A and B are shown apart, each in its own frame.
Chain A
Amino acid sequence: MRMTGTEFGEGVRIAFQALKANRLRSILTTLGILIGVVVVTVIISVIQGLNTYVSGELSALGTDNVYVSQYPWMITSWEEWLKVRNRPKIESRHFEFIKEYTTLAQAVAPEVATRRTVKYRDEDLNNVIIYGTTEDYMVLSDAMPEYGRFFNEAEIHQRRNVCVIGWEVADALYKNKDPIGERIKISGQSFFILGVMEKRGQLFDFSMDNNVMMPYTVFQKVFGKHRSLEIQAKAVSPDAVEDLKSELEELMRRARGLRVSEDNNFNINQQSQLLDTYKSVTQVLWIVLIGIGSIALLVGGIGIMNIMLVSVTERTREIGIRKALGAKRQVILWQFLVESMFISSIGVILGMLISIGFAMIIKQASPIPVDISAWVAFLGIGFTVSIGIFFGLYPASKAAKLDPIEALRYE
């Protein structure tokens, strides 16, 4: 396409003049594109933010932690539930067996939990999670005591009423006092506080500091043995996770004496499965949302095409004049393309700015880190050019192909 700078400039000039002359029409068309862009970019950015948020939160579960559990973490159908509901619970002996024989885990701990009210003198704290575990809990949850110490093997073995309390519990019950060496009352029994865990924050809405950790042996002594344990293990290295899963499966089958023909009556769970489940559940939703956004954008594009067709018809005679005076096809084509690209780029730029505003509001009002990322912005520029060209091309080429004689005769 050969065009002089002068011809190019005239194309731009004409386009601006046309837009100025039809101000309201141009604004309305721009609005169509703007809405489309806002819908698409906000949706994409929220999706991205939500994904980042969820995977960030889930990584708190330990990316290379493996869990041997009674049930799968995600039960997605009633049939599945019927199949697993009669499974035997996981007991201390299973944990002890695995602990004894595992070669690929750097840490293994049981976890059993209940919610109780805890007391110190006249102060009560409701709904505190009581965990029964071992000292490997520190490795598995990547958390250390801020003050004092964790309980040790001897205390587990001797079933001593000792515990480590979460940061929130310490804050709520002991205020300015040092809780270490103090006692805490749970279910009528008194426990000696060995340490206070460092602050761990929240997992989604769930506080990880509103808890009390005690030896699992003590937990079973106080609360009974009817609860199933969950066995947590951390691989010696990230590469060993898959092997560790096989090993745990094998050890658990041996501990339960399962025959070759029998299915596993437990599950090996992993944080990544949650992420996978999250992704597969949300994927369809995202596709639907992006589809809706694209329709909005398409409608905007059709608006441009419509306005350009009107514009070409209105200016038929002008096109005839320009052609008679020597304007080539590509010059006319360019004139109309500039006009449609200008409308769409204004729409996209304003749409982007508004989207950034929305993103900031969402970010402030929710824990979801919504950002308009560079690639979304690039996508926007791509949209501008392609919508402007795609929806402008047909009207523009219609204009370019007009027969000058007929165009001059047009009333």
Chain B
Amino acid sequence: MMIELKEINKDYHLGLETVHALRGVDLNIDNNEYVAIMGPSGSGKSTLMNLLGCLDTPSSGLYMLNGSDVSDMDDNALAEIRNREIGFVFQNFNLLPRASALHNVELPLIYNGTPSSKRRDLAEEALTKVGLKDRMHHRPNELSGGQRQRVAVARALVNNPSIILADEPTGNLDTRTGDEIMDLFETLHDNGNTIILVTHEEYIAEHSDRIIRLRDGRVERDEAV
């Protein structure tokens, strides 16, 4: 099993008030699954994504990622896990504005010490996969929204991570470009990648093989498409 969540709770403390963002979430996700996480606003989707992406740790519960317990790791250890295991695709792209597409894609490789010539080859290869070979020296503001998101996908792919996590990846795109990105995920999935994406659009979720529905921090339904 690639991802195992057991009895995961996540609380936020706002002064005296405690917000239970996740309450006892149990979840298993296997290699090469394509999972969509859905739910109303405030149901805990982003919180769950942040935990899965090792950007945060649970208040209690166990998170096993590829056989290692990441629930209690410190900042630096989590950074290493993120670098090795996770590829992020964000709703608002989150590219470095002053860096070229190529450099943006190289970033994860920089943080694991890949030597520069190999870095360049890998980044070019990833950009080729998303169909942006001829745009690699462009900066984000010289690219369309769809192209930017493709750069982000290339960046998520480049380090060959276990999981690609996408939080509303089509949220800032028009329907047609959104579909293009979804096609890209489809291809990645066919090539053996594990994909977890958050969306609130049923037709986007339809692309996946399994939909997990959250409500008030709990898994309400978990079913194959």
A residues adjacent to B (C-beta < 8 A): 4-7, 9-10, 17, 21, 317-318, 320-331, 404-405, 408
Contacts and interface: CB of A to CB of B under 8 A. Distances in A.
Contacts of A7: 110-111, 113
Given A21-B98, A324-B88, A325-B155, 16 more contacts: A4-B113, A6-B110, A6-B115, A10-B111, A17-B98, A321-B96, A324-B55, A325-B83, A325-B107, A326-B80, A326-B111, A327-B79, A328-B79, A328-B80, A330-B76, A405-B55
A317 B107 contact: no
B177 interface: no
B82 to A, nearest CB: 5
B144 interface: no
A240 to B, nearest CB: 70
Contacts of A17: 98
B111 A327 contact: yes
B112 A408 contact: no
Interface of B: 50, 53, 55-56, 75-76, 79-80, 82-84, 88, 90, 94-96, 98, 107-116, 119, 155
Given A6-B113, A324-B55, A317 B94 contact: yes
Contacts of B98: 17, 21
Nearest to B50: A405
Given A321-B96, A405-B56, A408-B90, A326 B79 contact: yes
B143 to A, nearest CB: 16
Nearest to A323: B79
A326 B115 CA distance: 16
Contacts of A321: 94-96, 107
B208 to A, nearest CB: 23
List of 5 A-B pairs having minimum Cβ-Cβ separation, nearest first:
A326-B83, A4-B113, A326-B111, A328-B79, A328-B76
A297 to B, nearest CB: 32
B110 A329 contact: no
A73 to B, nearest CB: 69
A326 B113 contact: no
A9 B50 CA distance: 29
Contacts of B112: 4, 326
A405 B48 CA distance: 12
A5 B96 CA distance: 21
A17 B99 CA distance: 9
B154 to A, nearest CB: 13
A325 B56 contact: no
A19 to B, nearest CB: 12
A15 to B, nearest CB: 13
A146 B55 CA distance: 90
B102 to A, nearest CB: 13
A9 B113 CA distance: 10
16 contacts: A6-B109, A6-B110, A9-B116, A10-B111, A21-B98, A320-B94, A322-B107, A324-B88, A325-B83, A326-B83, A326-B111, A327-B111, A328-B80, A329-B79, A331-B111, A404-B55
Nearest to A317: B94
A10 B104 CA distance: 12
Contact of B82 (A5, A318, A325, A330): A325
A9 B88 CA distance: 24
A165 B42 CA distance: 105
B115 to A, nearest CB: 7
B108 A5 contact: no
A92 B41 CA distance: 111
A17 to B, nearest CB: 6
Contacts of A6: 109-110, 113-116, 119
A408 B95 CA distance: 11
A325 B55 contact: no
Q: Which of A21, A322, A324 neighbours the largest number of chain B CB atoms within 10 Å of its CB?
A: A324
